[in-house]
Amino acid sequence: MIKLLVYVAIVLLIITIAQLVRVFELAAELKGSKNNEVSYKDHRNQGRMMFGFLFLFMAFCLWQCLKYKDSILPEAASVHGKDLDWLMWFNMSLISIVFVIINILLFYFTYKYYSRPDSQAVYYPHNNKLELIWTIVPAAVLAVIIILGLKMWNTITEPASNDAIVIELYAKQFDWSARYAGKDNQLGHSNYKNIGGSNALGMDTLDPKGVDDIIVRNELHIPVGKQVEFKINSRDVIHSAFMPHFRIQMNAVPGMVTSMHMTPSITSEEMRKRPEVVDQMKRINDLRAKDGKEPYEFNYVLLCNKICGASHYNMQMNVVVDTPDQYEAWLAKQKPFLAKN
């Protein structure tokens, strides 16, 4: 009901403004002044307001940076993540510098060169030297960014080392399953045609490579300091496997297997003790306490980063980075899927 009233109020406001404009137009007509003529005073006021806006706008941008600076991700928890963060901040610095310079020039020039009665614009149609500079400089800078980005992309997607732990991430509306390759470190064959009953991942029960495969749904465990290769698959629509703390993401595409790999560098327990994480969790839990909700504990997460349907927001799985001993102990407790069924 309130929503409807708000809409009605907005419509009435628009009608009122339109009517007011009409009144001003009629009043101006009666006074005999020309409607479409912009006076020197108008130009000057517009120019000054543009200059004023420059300061307001810059102050607003600065305020946003300061207000949200503590909401950014904590230190990268993977080996390549540190380089990726460096690249992100390198990009961010470039963008920020260009952003500030361009906006200062844009609004200052609008103020400096507002129309005056005795001034006339210069006709300046072309300058080869200028064209060359503003084509070559951005092209060179973009080339550097793209080359660095491609190098980073390759470190995540190039073939993983032979002893990397192989884990399949299987997406469906709306949850994740993870399948560990087991002792032989080879995933058994699977096909969507086999999906049925308890075989939610369509495993081929006759493939010997799959006999020791382990499937987990609630929590993904990986050991610190060891390369993990993810083979990503989807049952229905395109999802995206996103692990922000490790700085990796890859689409999950039905009918094909995509892959990426990374080496976790900080265990979950170590991460929970980092000052920036303690601060962040405190802020989140203060808010939750106000709503009478249970406090959260920090966890690495695997999220879906493609809007894949109604419960997309709910599609996540906790990721636990263990010490090698903890990981072995956890793994020893898991039963192969085929032994269970």
Tokens of 35: 């409607």
Which of the stretches 50-58, 132-140, 282-290, 300-308 binds Cu ion when contact is defined by CB under 5 A?
300-308
What's the distance, Cα to Cα, between the start and end of the chain in Å?
53
> Judged by CB, which is closer to Cu ion: 228, or 308?
308
> Judged by CB, which is closer to Cu ion: 203, or 308?
308
CB 222 within 8 A of CB 264: yes
Residues 233 and 220: their CA atoms lie apart, in Å, by: 16
304 lies in the binding site for Cu ion (CB under 5 A): yes
> Judged by CB, which is closer to Cu ion: 215, or 315?
315
Instruction: Kindly state the number of chain residues that form the binding site for Cu ion, as judged by CB under 5 A.
Output: 4
Contact track, Cu ion, 3-22, x by CB under 5 A: --------------------
> Judged by CB, which is closer to Cu ion: 169, or 224?
169
CB 250 within 8 A of CB 48: no
What is the closest distance, in whole angstroms, from the C-beta atom of residue 271 to Cu ion in the complex? 25
DSSP state, residue 199:
B
Which of the stretches 156-164, 177-185, 286-294, 306-314 binds Cu ion when contact is defined by CB under 5 A?
306-314
Phi, psi of 229 (to 5 degrees): -105, 125
Sheet holding 228-234, edge to edge: 214-216, 175-180, 165-172, 228-234, 258-262
> Judged by CB, which is closer to Cu ion: 54, or 220?
220
Residues 68 and 286: their CA atoms lie apart, in Å, by: 17
Tokens of 149: 């980005």
Which of the stretches 27-35, 148-156, 299-307, 332-340 binds Cu ion when contact is defined by CB under 5 A?
299-307
> Judged by CB, which is closer to Cu ion: 240, or 268?
240
Which of the stretches 31-39, 176-184, 267-275, 309-317 binds Cu ion when contact is defined by CB under 5 A?
309-317
315 lies in the binding site for Cu ion (CB under 5 A): yes
Choice from 164, 243, 308, 321 touching Cu ion (CB under 5 A): 308
Residues 80 and 249: their CA atoms lie apart, in Å, by: 13
Query: Which residues, in sequence order, are bridge partners of residue 175?
Result: 172
Residues 72 and 243: their CA atoms lie apart, in Å, by: 14
Q: Within 233-262, which residues bind Cu ion (CB under 5 A)?
A: 239
Which residues of the shown chain bind Cu ion in the complex (CB under 5 A)?
239, 304, 308, 315
